[in-house]
Each structure stands twice: as structure tokens, then as C-alpha cells.
């Protein structure tokens, strides 16, 4: 098992990519800490336990730096910490830059940038002290490409990738790796919310899939597999990297 006896903390793990990652890490022997602002994370942890895995739930608002520190401190004291997956994120309705309300921009920045910053800020002292660990941040195709009418989202996901590189350069001497997974459009609730703004969401979904060489969108499980790789010792010499998992879109 690739994560045997390791504690993996995952933010935004109540659904989508976060839930799929929690399940895959548990299958690979990890003790999974499911965190989410949504209490649905309780059911995720319970399902993992019922399937024979090991899991616990902690409620967490990633935008609250003090709470993030308190939760990580409690997790370290109770379970230890080997891997942090900063997955929690949000999007916004499509719109040109000048029409996006500042409050929406600020919320997206708070979750997608500050949430990742807070996670790294809370976890790094513990990881440095023990001399090993891995951080996997969830970026996006928007980490590499500027998506039209998604300026705030593109801003934040570009920042996640470059912040990851900075963390990798700074924490590498302490035995800590940091990487980003950059998914293409994935079948999640976030995608459903994005498509709901279209006149015909299903037609838009089909058109979107046609733009990918593989002629389909990703499943959460496929992104979870990439996260699992970067979290595991199989990626022991991979750090500061943005792993693109986009079905060939960027090609």
C-alpha cells in the first residue's frame, strides 16, 4: 500500500475531488482526515470506516487562519501528519472582468489563495520539525491558461501554482515536497454550478467535452489518482511541479 501508516489531511473532502481523494488514500492504507466546512464530511469519514479504512472528520473553514492552525495542531497531537492536500476551492459565475463584483472576487481569493496559504502556514512548522512530509495543492487548468470570463478564478489558480513552487524551494531542505495538480474540467458540483449559467447546460457540457482530445471530461477519481501519486513515495523526487491532468486540452 502506497500510503500505509501515513496520516493524510484533505480539505474540502465532503464531495467531488476531495471525497474521491479521501477514498483513494484510504484504500492505499492512509489514515485519512476528512475536513470540510460542510458537515457532509462526517458521512464521508463514516463511509471510509465502514469500507474497512481509517478516517476521522474535522470541521474546517479554510479561510479562517486561526481555526486552520488549531485544527492542524489537534490533528498532529492526535494522529500525526504526513500529507496535506489543499483541495478546498470555489469558482464564480462567468463574466467579463469588469462585471465581476468585488465581493465575489474577494471571496474566490479568500478560499482559493488564502485557504491554501493558511494550510501551508499551519502545516509547515510540524512537517519541518519532523523532517519529512508532502503538500499537494489542487490548482486547475486555469493555473496555466487564462480562462475567458473566469478572471478571478484564473487569478487564484495561477497563484496556487506559483505559491507551490515557492513552498517547494523553501521547504525542500527540510525533506518536504510540494506539488500542484492541475485538472481540466471535472465532473463535480463545481462544474454543475458553472454550467448552470448556460442556456442549455447539457449541450454546453457536450460541447466542452468535444474540445478535449479524449472527447470527455475527467472523473473525480482520475484526479484523485494524480493526487495520490504526488502524495506517495513514488513521487519522492518530484517537487515544485504542476501535474497537468486535462485529457490533452492544453496540448
Q: Which of 219, 27, 22, 6 is nearest to 133 (CA)?
A: 6
d(C-alpha 111, C-alpha 123), whole Å: 17
One of 58, 153, 194, 212 is an active-site residue; which one? 153
d(C-alpha 104, C-alpha 92), whole Å: 7
- Asked if 24 contacts 225 with a C-beta cutoff of 8 angstroms, the reply is yes
- Asked if 25 contacts 36 with a C-beta cutoff of 8 angstroms, the reply is no
d(C-alpha 95, C-alpha 152), whole Å: 10
Residue 52, C-alpha cell as written in the block:
474497512
Can you give the residue ranges of every domain in the chain? 7-186+220-239
Residue 153 a catalytic site member = yes
Q: What is the pLDDT of residue 91?
A: 87
Start-end of H helices in 15-150: 16-27, 41-50, 65-79, 102-109, 115-130
Instruction: Say if residue 223 is exposed, middle or buried (CB neighbours under 10 Å; 0-12, 13-18, 19+).
Output: buried
Q: What is the pLDDT of residue 68?
A: 98
Q: What is the pLDDT of residue 138?
A: 98
Which CATH number is associated with domain 7-186+220-239?
Answer: 3.40.50.720
pTM comes to 0.94
Q: What is the pLDDT of residue 161?
A: 98
Q: What is the pLDDT of residue 178?
A: 99
pLDDT tens, N- to C-terminus, the chain (251 residues): 999 999 999 999 999 999 999 999 999 999 999 999 999 999 999 999 999 999 999 999 999 999 999 999 999 999 999 999 999 999 887 888 998 999 999 999 999 999 999 999 999 999 999 999 999 999 999 899 988 878 999 999 999 999 999 999 999 999 999 999 999 888 887 777 777 777 787 887 888 788 889 999 999 999 999 999 999 999 999 999 999 999 998 98
Amino acid at each position: 500500500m502506497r500510503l500505509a501508516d501515513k496520516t493524510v489531511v484533505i480539505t474540502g473532502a465532503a464531495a467531488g475531488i476531495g471525497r474521491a481523494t479521501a477514498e483513494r488514500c484510504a484504500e492505499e492504507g492512509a489514515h485519512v482526515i476528512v475536513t470540510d466546512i460542510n458537515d457532509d464530511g462526517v458521512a464521508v469519514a463514516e463511509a471510509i470506516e465502514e469500507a474497512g479504512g481509517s478516517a476521522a472528520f474535522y470541521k474546517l473553514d479554510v479561510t479562517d487562519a486561526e481555526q486552520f492552525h488549531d485544527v492542524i495542531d489537534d490533528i498532529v497531537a492526535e494522529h500525526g501528519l504526513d500529507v496535506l492536500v489543499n483541495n478546498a476551492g470555489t469558482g464564480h459565475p462567468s463574466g467579463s472582468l469588469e462585471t465581476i463584483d468585488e465581493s465575489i472576487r474577494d471571496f474566490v481569493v479568500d478560499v482559493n489563495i488564502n485557504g491554501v496559504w493558511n494550510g501551508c502556514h499551519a502545516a509547515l512548522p510540524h512537517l519541518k520539525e519532523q523532517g519529512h512530509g508532502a503538500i499537494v495543492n489542487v490548482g486547475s487548468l486555469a493555473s496555466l491558461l487564462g480562462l475567458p470570463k473566469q478572471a478571478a478564478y484564473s487569478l487564484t489558480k495561477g497563484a496556487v501554482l506559483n505559491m507551490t513552487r515557492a513552498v517547494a524551494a523553501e521547504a525542500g531542505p527540510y525533506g518536504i515536497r510540494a506539488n500542484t495538480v492541475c485538472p481540466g474540467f471535472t465532473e463535480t458540483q463545481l462544474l454543475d454550478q458553472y454550467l448552470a449559467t448556460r442556456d442549455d447546460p447539457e449541450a454546453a457540457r457536450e460541447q466542452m467535452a468535444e474540445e478535449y482530445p479524449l472527447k470527455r471530461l475527467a472523473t473525480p477519481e482520475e484526479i484523485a489518482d494524480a493526487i495520490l501519486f504526488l502524495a506517495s513515495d513514488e513521487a519522492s523526487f518530484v517537487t515544485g511541479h504542476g501535474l497537468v491532468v486535462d485529457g490533452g486540452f492544453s496540448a
